[in-house]
Amino acid sequence: MAVPDKILTWQMVQPTSRNRETGEVTPGKLEKTEIPVPELKPGEVLVEVAGCGVCHTDLGYFYDGVPTVSKPPLTLGHEISGTVVAGDGKWVGKEVLIPAVMPCRQCYLCKTRRGNRCLSQKMPGNSIGIYGGFSSHIPVPGIDLCEIRNRGDMPLEHLAVVADAATTPFQAAKRADLEVGDNVIVIGVGGVGQYMVQIAKALGAGTVIAIDIDEERLQNMLSYGADFVVNATGKNSRDVSGEIKAIRKQKGLPGYGWKIFEATGTKPGQETALALLSFTGKLIIVGFGMQKVEYSISRLMAFDAEIIGTWGCLPEYYPQVLEMVLSGKVSLEPFVQTRPMSTIADAFEEAHSKSPDKRIVLTPDF
């Protein structure tokens, strides 16, 4: 396997910023550059990137002022598949997924199975120094890699999406204690929500209702796990609640115990989720946004309900999600598109303007 002298990369030199006094916006900058290949420590490997997905989190760092742990300049990108070309000998030559968050495995959180939120975790494109997935190569710890076996004719670069968009919903399902027969609502069926629907169904959910403002997406989800869909365009949370209630009445479904996954990260989506939370229900916050919402938390007491946050996914769960994809229980191909990494600026701008129906995966073309 060829080991490079330099890593070719697209670095975020500066994020987009806004002057609070004047409102003037200074556009962010992405620059093609070279960075050093570090001396690999024991247990580390160098992965040749096959593909890296453009995630809403990357856009938050670049456009919305969400701070990164490692300060710019750094390379973004944490949804990565590739091939190990150097380092720990047992990994060299193997195709792998790199977990979006890699725990330290030493702290209390790691030892109590909460390592997905380990405070010392390493995240490509954020807290692993200057290195990220929008590159030719990336150095990472080998312990958390997920080996890809028997992928058949599934392109290696497409499987990058599993490293975050498909595994984050699996972790969310675990946080919700999703059980066979549970009734589920997914708000937002974009890059992550479309997998949330599929994974909930694959894990045995009873009725799954998808909510979005894009009718085409909603109709598509009826073929991929959703039993009912609700278009929230032009509707307030009370209107949406009324439609959900009508579905429950039509199908004889209970008004209690629903598990709601909010995947939009938007204020309207979160307000709708809170309005739908009822007796013994659970609301799992999957999407991220900077806005604030108002809610009477005494309702949680009255309903004996829960609001739960979820972050990333434990590396231990990656093989199970990968098996779901490779066995066809979760469909990947209809929701993925690839583009050359040299189009990164245009891809960012497009994805920031409107979440694409198909996840954009950038492939190195240096």
Is the peptide bond prior to 356 cis by the omega test (within 30 degrees of 0)? no
Q: Which DSSP helix (H) or strand (E) runs through 11? A: strand 6-14
How far apart (Å, rounded) are the C-alpha atoms in residues 202 and 184? 12
How far apart (Å, rounded) are the C-alpha atoms in residues 269 and 347? 24
Q: What is the pLDDT of residues 260-299, one digit of tens each?
A: 999 999 999 999 999 999 999 999 999 988 889 999 999 9
Q: What is the pLDDT of residues 306-352, one digit of tens each?
A: 999 999 999 999 999 999 999 999 999 999 999 999 999 999 999 99
Q: Assign 112 a pLDDT band (cuts: 50, 70, 90).
A: very high
Query: Which residue carries 């070719």 as its tokens?
Result: 8
Q: Is the pLDDT of residue 1 over 80?
A: no
- pTM value > 0.85: yes
Query: What is the reported pLDDT for 23?
Result: 81
Q: 259 or 356: which carries more pLDDT confidence?
A: 259
Q: Is the pLDDT of residue 69 over 80?
A: yes
Q: Assign 18 a pLDDT band (cuts: 50, 70, 90).
A: confident
Lookup: tokens for 37: 């290949």
Q: Assign 65 a pLDDT band (cuts: 50, 70, 90).
A: confident
Q: Which residues 6+ apart lie within 8 Å of 85 measured at CB?
A: 1, 2, 3, 46, 47, 48, 92, 137
Q: Dump strand ranges (E) for the chain.
A: 6-14, 17-18, 25-26, 29-36, 44-53, 80-87, 95-98, 137-141, 146-147, 184-187, 208-212, 228-231, 259-262, 282-285, 306-309, 336-340, 359-363
Query: What is the reported pLDDT for 47?
Result: 98
The 3-state DSSP class for residue 308 equals: strand
How far apart (Å, rounded) are the C-alpha atoms in residues 174 and 310? 9
Q: Assign 355 a pLDDT band (cuts: 50, 70, 90).
A: confident
Domains of the chain: 6-164+313-363 (3.90.180.10), 167-309 (3.40.50.720)
Q: What is the pLDDT of residues 209-240, one digit of tens each?
A: 999 999 999 999 999 999 999 999 999 999 99
Q: How far is CA 305 from CA 188, 205, 258, in A?
A: 21, 19, 10
Count of CB atoms within 10 A of residue 129's CB?
A: 15
Report the helix count and the strand count for the chain, using DSSP H and E.
10, 17
Query: What is the reported pLDDT for 289?
Result: 85
Distance of CA 306 to the CA centre of its chain: 22
How far apart (Å, rounded) are the C-alpha atoms in residues 222 and 318? 26
Q: Is the pLDDT of residue 109 over 90?
A: yes
Q: Is the pLDDT of residue 90 over 90?
A: yes
Query: What is the reported pLDDT for 222?
Result: 97
Q: Assign 179 a pLDDT band (cuts: 50, 70, 90).
A: very high
Query: What is the reported pLDDT for 366?
Result: 92
Nearest Cα to Cα of residue 286 among 202, 196, 161? 196
Q: Is the pLDDT of residue 21 over 90?
A: no
Looking at every residue in the chain, the average pLDDT score rounds to 95
Query: What is the reported pLDDT for 183?
Result: 98
